[in-house]
A = this chain, B = another copy of it.
Amino acid sequence: MPQQRSEETRAHLLDAAVRRFAISGYNAASVDEICAEAGVSKGAFYHHFPSKQAVFLALLDGWLKTIDSGLESMRQATVPETFVEMTRLLPAIFAAADERLPMFLEFWLQASRDEKIWEATIAPYRHYQEYFARLVADGIAEGSLKPETDPQAAGQVILSLAVGLFLQGVLDPHGADWQKVGEESMKILMNGLAS
């Protein structure tokens, strides 16, 4: 085990960071706090990351990779099934109950302000937009979706809905039966798009 301990420390720091950021927010969560929760010193922190922002970017990167792998698994299926699968999986990806969810809100908020973080966020995000637009276009080509649908806009609508469901789930977890709302939204989407 060469640098195993080192990697464990790094993992502990990332784990502590995501929790502190989620609970207190990026600004309010201090490096000292994160170190304490990770059980390491500040020296270790700055040995592994050049700055506080760097941890944040590392977490963002990990989150984007997680979503990507979720999308990748959907990309295997054929198009009509993909579309159904997508509408099923989308809320699951975004709304999986997890105490770290406020972290993602934090990502977006920071992204809207910090140029560096914005670039790291928006590029993959646009990639998702295109992905959904393509899915809709394929559905139309196959005849399973209304031909007059605008693929770009419809893809955006699906993404918007997912984002909205996710956000509400974060802010008011017990405010509704989100499982049910997710299913209802998929019904409405399918009815509204299917030919």
Q: What is the interface of chain A, defined by CB distance below 8 A to chain B?
A: 23-25, 27-28, 102, 105-106, 108-109, 111-113, 121-122, 125-126, 129, 146, 149-150, 152-154, 156-157, 159-165, 167-168, 170-172, 175-177, 180-181, 183-185, 187-193
> Which residues of B are found within 8 Å of A156, using beta-carbon distances?
168, 176, 181, 184-185
Can you list 13 A-B pairs, Cβ within 8 angstroms, ordered by A?
A: A23-B113, A109-B109, A122-B175, A125-B175, A153-B177, A153-B180, A153-B183, A153-B184, A154-B188, A160-B181, A188-B188, A188-B192, A188-B193
B160 near A165: Cβ-Cβ < 8 Å: yes
In the docked arrangement, what's the CA distance between A127 and B109, Å? 25
Q: Which of B159, B177, B192 contacts A168 (CB 8 A)?
A: B159
The smallest C-beta distance from A192 to any residue of chain B, in angstroms, reads: 3
Q: Which of B23, B109, B191 contacts A192 (CB 8 A)?
A: B191
A118's closest neighbor in chain B, by CB?
Answer: B171
Residue of A160, A187, A189 ringed by the most chain B CB atoms within 10 A: A160
